[in-house]
Structure 1
Amino acid sequence: MLVKLFQLLSKLPLFALHLIGSVIGWLVYLLSPSYRRKLKANLRRAGYQGHLSQAIRESGKSMFELPFIWCAPPDKVLRTASIENWELAQAALDAKTGVIFLTPHLGCFEIIAQAIAAKTSLTALYRPPRKAALKPLIEGARARPNLHLAPANLTGVRALLKALKKGHAIGLLPDQVPQNGEGVWADFFGTAAYTMTLSAKLHQMSGAPIILSYAERLPFGRGFVIRFVPFEEELGNTPEQQARAINAAMEKLIARCPSQYIWSYNRYKTPPGVSAPGNANANHQDAP
């Protein structure tokens, strides 16, 4: 049923989906106290509280553009996106070293994997849905030629490393909260956030360069601009230093279009089995 609904919505123009999303974004904000509290708290924590109104609209757009991104014909989807600085990634691919693409929950991050897969083989890490009913949508709708999905477990990590050793590209969401044992506490906008260490480990094991990417959503449904940005932070030697370096890089990306980050994401939760950080500023009330 959900797949059919997404397929039906995918036939609407992107402008219409963004317009509906803007309205629904405000409705959710007004009707859900927990959502409203989390959104405002995360914006305030990062110093972007002045972007509240736009962030509410952009959050709604991010949800209602998914039927188009996932279910519209791939060529139609990619026609809505322009790409900047792809030569940065192509140079790494030409060197046969593999590439580690890091993409935060910023803008239309779902379109980036499709754009990369249209140019080269990409293995993307994803977290399988907990509800079986969502599996056909989350996994099936994302299926594209050259795009391989790797589950967030040991099997998936092996698939990522195998792809890098072949000189191929992989993609991760570095601001996704990892599970117990898969991350460390590192500062993110002034508060400790449990942060994955996988991307730095893969870089160390393979020597593949890290490249940042994000897709800025243009106004009035005009599409997206996908940008590739060099990773310029010093990773350091410890997992904590590496996680902080990656978080710092994410902060700089988010500063480019702060209203388009998904501020409602529970970035500061303490995963089950993980000890709380020794940071008095850490916010654990948002944890489920």
Structure 2
Amino acid sequence: MLSGWPLPLLHIMGAVLGWAAFLGSPTYRRRFLANAAQAGYRFASVRRAVAEAGKLVAEAPRLWFGSMPRIHWEGAELIDAARATGRGIVFLTPHLGCFEITAQAYAVRYGRITVLYRPARKAWLRELVDTARERTNLAAAPTTLAGVRQMLRALRAGEAVGLLPDQVPPQGLGAWAPFFGKEAYTMTLPARLVQQTGAVLLLAVGERLPHGQGYCVRLMPWEGALDSAPAPAAAQVNAQMERLVGGWPAQYLWGYARYKQPRVEMAP
């Protein structure tokens, strides 16, 4: 039912939900404020992010089951140039804005893309999310060794993959590196994918436009050469993510438990 609602209405509902969660959950509120402070932001600077987090939840039914909303592009020539080389593309985007829309928009405009995701713990929810995310030209790879192999195959075939590099990876798939001045367990997968396939590395942001007008997918080049060692490469990834967050701090998911310990959940 919600998938058929207009996006402006979903975002109004989401803003209310966001503030309800912020005011009703002391744990969430403390983490939100602590993460923002760690990055050097006062609450007044990121106050809008409370509502934006709620919009992220409310827009999910539309993105998973409804029609594609209006998409604007900025920097699409970077994708065109990367595809012209015949190499695969690794897109990195943090928990910023509507990160789901970046992969969906690519799938509609360019073709097949594989995204990394963490399967839900509950079976019924896992089935729902898996079904919703497996859309035309959009494949999902779990955070397991099998998922990593799936992404490698896609890149070697000249396709694209998408990662949330500020997501805490399972134990063994990351390295400790500073994120806004505090050590955070960071995935080393982006560097491994690029090193093993020669893929082009691009940064992507799905900016949520005001008043439910849609989204703007913004592409930016990776700055500098990616280090071959895991820990320095992880630090470079975090620095790039900090750059993106600095551009849109009011749309970052400050309530995400970025500094938590990794879980042991790797499958053989």
TM-score (norm 2): 0.95
* Cα distance between partner residues in 1 of 2:79 and 2:115: 16
**Take 2:76 and 2:182, find their aligned partners in 1: how far apart are those partners?**
33
Summarize the alignment of residues 26-65 of structure 1 with structure 2, pairs less than 5 Å apart. Answer: 26-49=19-42, 50-65=44-59
Residue segments in structure 1 that go unaligned for 5+ positions in a row? 1-7, 274-288
From 21, 43, 49, the equivalent of 2:14 is 21
1:158-206 CA deviation, whole Å, 9 max, x = no partner? Answer: 1111111111111111111011111000000010000000110111111
> For 2:148 and 2:253, how far apart are their aligned partners in 1?
25
Kindly indicate whether the alpha-carbon contact (under 8 Å) linking 2:133 and 2:139 is maintained by their aligned counterparts in 1: no
SS in 2 for 1:268: coil
Partner amino acid for 1:164? L
Within the candidate set 172, 176, 195, 2:167 is matched to: 176
Give 1:122's aligned residue.
113
| Kept in 2: contact 1:122–1:171 (CA 8 A) | yes
Residue identity in the other structure for 2:6: P
Say whether 1:92 aligns with 2:92: no
Question: Matched residues in 2 for 1:212 and 1:66: separation?
Answer: 22
Q: State the alpha-carbon separation in 2 of the partners of residues 248 and 264 from structure 1.
A: 19
Pairwise CA RMSD: 1.4
3-state SS, counterpart of residue 4 of structure 2 = coil
Deviation at 1:120, TM superposition (A): 1.8
- Structure 2 regions of 5+ residues with no counterpart? none
The residue type paired with residue 15 of structure 2 is S
Alignment of 1:79-228 (within 5 A): 79-118=69-108, 119-228=110-219
Higher relative contact order (CA 8 A, sep 6+): 2
Alpha-carbon deviation of 1:210? 0.5
Output the CA distance in 1 between the equivalents of 2:194 and 2:150: 14
Residues 131-163 of structure 1: CA distance to partner in whole angstroms, max 9, x if unpaired? 111123211111211111111111111111111
Query: Any conservation in 1 of the 2:88–2:199 contact (CA below 8 Å)?
Result: yes
In structure 1, how many angstroms separate the alpha carbons of the residues matched to 2:166 and 2:191? 13
Aligned partners of 1:225 and 1:236: how far apart in 2?
30
Look up the match of 1:5: none
